[in-house]
Amino acid sequence: MFEKVKKCMDEFVYECGHKQTIKLYNHISQGKMLRSSLIIEIAGQSEKTIQLCAVIEMIHLASLLHDDVIDEAPLRRGKETIHKLYDTKTAIMLGDLLYSKAFSKLTLMDKDIAFCVSNAVTSLSIGEMLDIELSNSFNTNLETYIDMIEKKTASLIEASTKSASILANKNQTNFAIYGNSIGLCFQIIDDILDVTQDSSTLGKPCLLDFKEGKTTIVYILLYQNLSQTDKNRLKSYFKKDLNQDQQNWIKQMIHKHDIISKTKQICKNIAKDGLDAIKNEENKKLFDIINNIIDREK
């Protein structure tokens, strides 16, 4: 089923008729296609659902191209990022091309879907702005973090499940709640993996978030659990290039204070809200998707 989505995305990009764009686009490796699997699971396979998947995956790709420029990330999905391989101008423009092509296809779709997806792009852009703002200082507020990831990551996933429910004539509110909780869980697990996995598994350096100034949920909970002396020590490491001993200290503290299971518990509570919203759907796959996200290791 993903081949059909990929083929549709290829067709949209080839329609641009610009050789360099096609070459650059072909360099990007395909991700997990979470948004497409949700859409197809909710709305089934049809030309309309495949096109919606292609549009949303292209918007997602565009946002990652821009995000990698903002984060100055060297690797994405184990491959060198476009801005490293070429330059920031090229990466930004490839993002703009994918985004604008997706939007022209979106205008041909149901107007409620077009409204839902375009609104989500505003939210995800605000989320990225908040992420940038928050990285200026050490954030210790969990609600502020949740609000940011809700916009940065959950908004487009929520738009995927909601627009799929519009296509399938299902309950939009319930599917929006389900998508929102998947998005929150996805980002929280992403933030856990940044501290628990090695760089070869991640396809990017580990402990990168803290160096980039991202005080994710892991660091917020860790901070709350530390003594005043250790709080100060953690704060002094914020946004620094840490040596092996300093990195090991962070990992030891995370282990000592059981931060990963505390974080996972928050994630499970959020997942429960999403699963409750779709409890009347006779679709085990929708339950598996959220559980697989919580259990994922890369």
Q: How far is the CB of 131 from ligand FPP (least distance, A)?
A: 7
Residue 151 interacts with ligand FPP (CB under 6 A)?
no
Q: One symbol per residue from 58 to 77: x for binding Mg ion (CB under 5 A), - otherwise; what is it?
A: ---------x---x------
Of ligand FPP, Mg ion, none, which one sits near residue 66, judging by CB under 5 to 8 A according to partner kind?
A: ligand FPP
Residue 110 interacts with ligand FPP (CB under 6 A)?
no
DSSP lists the bridge partners of residue 76 as 79
Residue position matching structure tokens 């605000």: 126
Residue position matching structure tokens 């990330």: 73
Would you say 160 and 179 are in contact if contact means Cβ atoms under 8 Å apart? Answer: yes
Within 22-41, the residues that bind Mg ion by CB under 5 A are none
Of Mg ion, ligand FPP, none, which one sits near residue 41, judging by CB under 5 to 8 A according to partner kind?
A: none
Residue 80 dihedral angles phi and psi, to the nearest 5°: -60, 140
Q: How far is the CB of 98 from ligand FPP (least distance, A)?
A: 8
Residue position matching structure tokens 């709080």: 231
The piece of 16-24, 38-46, 119-127, 219-227 that touches ligand FPP (CB under 6 A) is 119-127
Residue 153 interacts with ligand FPP (CB under 6 A)?
yes
At residue 32's C-alpha, the angle toward residues 26 and 37, to 5°, is 115
Q: How far is CA 60 from CA 36, 63, 95, 134, in A?
A: 11, 5, 9, 22
Within 179-218, the residues that bind ligand FPP by CB under 6 A are 190
Nearer to ligand FPP by C-beta: 63 or 215? 63
Cα dihedral value 114, 272, 150, 234, nearest 10: -160
Would you say 253 and 234 are in contact if contact means Cβ atoms under 8 Å apart? Answer: yes
Helix (H, G, I), strand (E, B) or coil at 75: strand
Residue 125 interacts with ligand FPP (CB under 6 A)?
yes
Nearer to ligand FPP by C-beta: 101 or 174? 101
76 secondary structure, DSSP code: E
Residue 83 interacts with ligand FPP (CB under 6 A)?
no
The piece of 86-94, 124-132, 157-165, 241-249 that touches ligand FPP (CB under 6 A) is 124-132
Residue 66 interacts with ligand FPP (CB under 6 A)?
yes
Calculate the CA 18 to chain-centre distance. Answer: 28
The piece of 109-117, 122-130, 225-233, 237-245 that touches ligand FPP (CB under 6 A) is 122-130
Residue 128 interacts with ligand FPP (CB under 6 A)?
yes
Which sign, positive or negative, has the C-alpha torsion 119, 99, 147, 30? positive
CB count within 10 Å of CB 203 equals: 14
Of ligand FPP, Mg ion, none, which one sits near residue 83, judging by CB under 5 to 8 A according to partner kind?
A: none
Residue 63 interacts with ligand FPP (CB under 6 A)?
yes
CA dist 216 and 243 (Å) reads 20
Residue 129 dihedral angles phi and psi, to the nearest 5°: -60, -45
User: Which residues sit at the interface with Mg ion, rule CB under 5 A?
Assistant: 67, 71
User: Which residues sit at the interface with ligand FPP, rule CB under 6 A?
Assistant: 59, 62-63, 66-67, 71, 73, 95, 99, 121, 124-125, 128, 152-153, 190
